[in-house]
Amino acid sequence: MKVTVLLGGDSPERDVSLASGRGIVQALRGRGHEALPLDPALPLERQIEPDHVHIAERPPGTLDPLPPEKALDWLRSPLLLDADVVFVGLHGGAGENGTVQALLEAAGVAYTGTGVLGSALAMNKDRSKAIFRIEGVQTAEHLILRRGDPPGDVRRLVEERLGFPVVVKPNNQGSSVGFSFVEEPSELGDALEKAVSFRCDVIVERFVAGREITVSILGGEALPLVEIIPEGGFYDYKRKYTKGTSRYVAPAELDEDVTRRFQEQAVLAYDALCCRDYARVDFRMSDEGEPYCLEVNTLPGMTELSLVPMAAMASGVSFDELVERICMMAIERAGKGCAG
């Protein structure tokens, strides 16, 4: 196959995407395919192969946007148009909310992962949770707060409808960007200010005490569960991408009935949001063993610490094979042959 890997981008998850994209390129080359990186946030004349990528403890600032006359040059590049398939290795922002997917659709390019509608739905946590409730996916109560809502009204609403503790996060970011755990009403203001700084609405969710469980989906089938055990805190951006700050159990040590319940809920959430190819569904498990779905990640990480590769490995699928399978799903969906 000739595969172009979209990576980098201009979202706060740029570093994670560069690391994912580098891993994807190396995996495909290891399987004998021609794989080339393409960063839509950089001019074509400044494209580089990502070498070692360091993911900082905090998300980086966004890049300055390209001038309008250059913003879509990547979409006209032979790197993209001559590929058998484009592997979308972007995370967050326009790369994950359906915008890039719509551009690829318009260009007639075969690409991996969830399409326009599913990407847009999954990136909007408020709309995702509304659909979950309709489709029978258990999820914690929440409020959606609009920018400019009076702080006093917000605090009253949270106290009346959710109580404390709560989780506060931007409505359309991933990788725990802008995440805060709020135990007391006095902490709410700072948490809201942090989330609003990402220029979007804010979701406030009832905190579910218990264990952190994630279910990866490949081709519509649930893989083994992974339990995440962060060391000394919450599974935030730092603990997701810094070695030694979290432990993982794959497969998670749960009985068969509980495991089956999580997998069923994960596939239900995946289908409800019109996902395809692969995704990761994140849960909190209450002390009573109940699954509460947090969100569906349509472009989950593909770094050495990432959970989808970990779940695939637990089912006997190597990282290189996983990446190749995802590419083949996109090619088969598009009805395309491939070079060679």
The length of the chain, given as a count of residues: 340
Residues 6+ positions from 319 with CB-CB distance below 8 Å: 23, 27, 302, 309, 312, 313
Per the annotation, the verdict on 297 as an active-site residue is: yes
Which residue in 206, 276, 280, 284 is the catalytic one?
280
Per the annotation, the verdict on 180 as an active-site residue is: no
Which residue in 111, 237, 241, 278 is the catalytic one?
241
Which helix (H) or strand (E) is 241 found in, with range?
Answer: helix 237-241
Per the annotation, the verdict on 248 as an active-site residue is: no
Per the annotation, the verdict on 171 as an active-site residue is: no
Which residue in 176, 180, 297, 306 is the catalytic one?
297
Per the annotation, the verdict on 9 as an active-site residue is: no
Count the neighbouring beta carbons within 10 Å of the beta carbon of residue 158: 21
Q: 301 with 20: CB under 8 angstroms?
A: yes
Two tokens, residue 297: 């990640």
Per the annotation, the verdict on 295 as an active-site residue is: yes
Which residue in 13, 39, 236, 277 is the catalytic one?
13
Max CA distance (Å), the chain = 64
Per-residue DSSP letters for 101-139? HHHHHHHT--B-S--HHHHHHHH-HHHHHHHHHHHT---
Which residue in 236, 277, 295, 324 is the catalytic one?
295
Which residue in 21, 301, 306, 320 is the catalytic one?
301
Which residue in 84, 212, 282, 320 is the catalytic one?
282
Per the annotation, the verdict on 241 as an active-site residue is: yes
Which sequence positions are flagged as catalytic? 13, 175, 241, 280, 282, 295, 297, 301
